[in-house]
Amino acid sequence: MNTQDHTWIVVADGGGARVFEERERHGDLHELADWRETHGGEDVSTAHRHAQHATTNSPKAAAEAGFLEDLATHIDVAAGKKAFDKLVIVAPAKALGVLRAALKTEAHERIELTDSHDRTHEDARSLKAHLHKLRMP
């Protein structure tokens, strides 16, 4: 394995995250099953189902931000263990902002690319094609 090309692709939104690895540049993506996470616990929107306006201070938004901050902590730990050399983050704009802000220096310095789209439901093959397009000059 060429560690200089070992890339993690984190695909997330406020409700879930998947992590893929690319062991060589432009190689196949493999999902890391241990890293598949969904926003667990009780459905925080149930109690507020009748709320007329969703705000950034809503319980749902706070829970989603907490989930993304926890994800960033896990990524930071992996960066400290040198589990990857480069990091690609694919998430909707709001989630991307939370993740970038929550990542510590070591993980943050490894960010190769970011993409502000929701691709949490895409498979490895379509993510690979998208990643190739992102890397094109």
Place of tokens 């498979």: 123
The predicted model scores a pTM of 0.82
Give the Cα separation of 97 and 66 in Å (integer): 13
Place of tokens 């938004």: 61
Q: What is the percent of the chain where pLDDT is above 90?
A: 69
Give the Cα separation of 123 and 133 in Å (integer): 16
The amino acid occupying position 78 is A
| pLDDT tens-digit map of 81-121 | 999 999 999 999 999 999 999 999 999 999 999 999 999 99
Q: Which domains does the chain have, with CATH numbers?
A: 3-40+57-135 (3.30.420.60)
Give the Cα separation of 85 and 109 in Å (integer): 10
Confidence label for 60 from pLDDT (cuts 50, 70 and 90): confident
